[in-house]
Amino acid sequence: MFERKDVNNLEKRIICHIDFDYFFAQCEEIRNPSIKDLPVLVCVFSGRTKESGIVSTSNYVARKYGIKSGMPIRTAKSKLKDIESVVFLPVDYEYYETISKKAFSLILSIAKVINYEIIGLDECFLDLTSICRGFQEATALAKNIKNHLLNELYLSCSVGISYNKLLAKIASEYKKPNGFFIINPNETIQIISNLDISVIPGIGQKNKRRLNELGIKTVRELSEKNITFLKKTFGNRFGEYLHLSSIGINEDPINKKIENKQITRIKTLKQYSDNIEYVQSALSELCKSIYSELRHQDLLFRNVGLIFIDNKLKVTNRSKNLKKYTQNLNDLTDPVNSLFLEYISTYDILKLRRIGVKVCMLKKYEGQRNLTNYM
């Protein structure tokens, strides 16, 4: 009884964050080790022109030259124009997925955790509270995991251990790549205070800039701001989150049962287009792709949305709720078509660059059969 109380104390948890290093590019290195010492750039080619698209992930050799995620391929090429051999590869999501699955099943075979959370293809949290007696045991376990990943899958990762998710993630980030770092409770403030605010998840380009404009650059400076000020400036929820994060407090639970809330498919058109039939056929492809994902996950949906991105990269959304949950393809394509026609009717000239289809308000199909009697 007393022990259980301890385990439930959120301050006393043992949380481990594992992050596979430069994952997509590392997968390519695993497939073809001969490219290891060259800059490797895994790219999303949009198909508009031969070179249009962005860099998804690059290895650390490429990063030395200033290559970053999200950078246009053209920009990356100009940064690397003096380098003799550079490897540009298109994303091969399915291949990365197979490596990812192997890696996580290996991790879970070593750490018999009840509570874990997999995020995307390259990240997970493990709650080691109930299987380790302290950070020391957790360290041994984590190093064991690191070794197995490296020896069996040739995969390097960075690991952070601390007593909550926020700090575990900051810790894994801290010594990347192939890193390992622990943040003990009594060291938290000292370690995080001098870090840039961008180490806090949720502070990206926009929020970093806003905070900088308020004179806040480091975590310490953030912690010195009044919480009511932060709430007023950034909204209640995010403001409170910022304040608590700045002093290392985070009580987010680890839970593996986070279900998809939406499924989106976005596509860049080959050329700007106001040709209705052309766009409609593209939309129809996206619908089919979403439909197969819905079937794959056995999900019903109740909301259908469209995303339009025009030649000026302005984003517009249109969506509508359906009368009830459904899994029919027609219940997807019909609203998509009507939303599209509604949207274009408000424009004289339309230059679409990218289009997207989204379904949300998702629900597992299971059990639904029993409920139909009552509907």
Partner DNA sequence: GTTGTGATCCC
Partner DNA sequence: CCATGTATCACAAC
Cβ closest to DNA, residue 204 vs residue 253: 204
Query: Nearest-CA neighbor of 252 among 186, 191, 200?
Result: 200
Q: Are 301 and 290 spatial neighbours (Cβ–Cβ below 8 Å)?
A: no
For tokens 């987010």, the residue is: 252
Least separation, in Å, of the C-beta of 185 and DNA?
24
Which tokens in the block code for residue 158?
Answer: 């960075």
Please give the helix or strand (H or E) that residue 344 lies within, else none. helix 330-344
Least separation, in Å, of the C-beta of 97 and DNA?
12
Least separation, in Å, of the C-beta of 33 and DNA?
21
For this structure, is 123 an active site residue?
Answer: yes
**How buried is residue 194: exposed, middle or buried, by Cβ count under 10 Å (0-12/13-18/19+)?**
exposed
The angle at the Cα of 175, spanning 169 to 181, to the nearest 5 degrees, equals: 60
- Concatenating the DSSP letter of every residue in 246-265 gives HTT---PPP-TTPPP-EEEE
Cβ closest to DNA, residue 141 vs residue 299: 299
Q: Are 249 and 235 spatial neighbours (Cβ–Cβ below 8 Å)?
A: no
Cβ closest to DNA, residue 150 vs residue 266: 266
Least separation, in Å, of the C-beta of 56 and DNA?
5
Q: Which residues bind DNA (CB under 7 A)?
A: 23-24, 44, 46, 48-49, 51-54, 56-57, 69-70, 72-75, 120, 201-208, 210, 235-238, 258, 260-268, 271-272, 303, 305, 307, 309, 311, 313, 315-321, 353-354, 356
Distance (Å, whole) CA 223 – CA 216: 9
Least separation, in Å, of the C-beta of 72 and DNA?
4
Cβ closest to DNA, residue 139 vs residue 176: 176
Cβ closest to DNA, residue 4 vs residue 237: 237
**Catalytic position from the list 28, 29, 117, 123:** 123
The torsion defined by the Cα of 143, 146, 150 and 153, in degrees rounded to 10, comes to 140
What residues are labeled active site?
Answer: 123
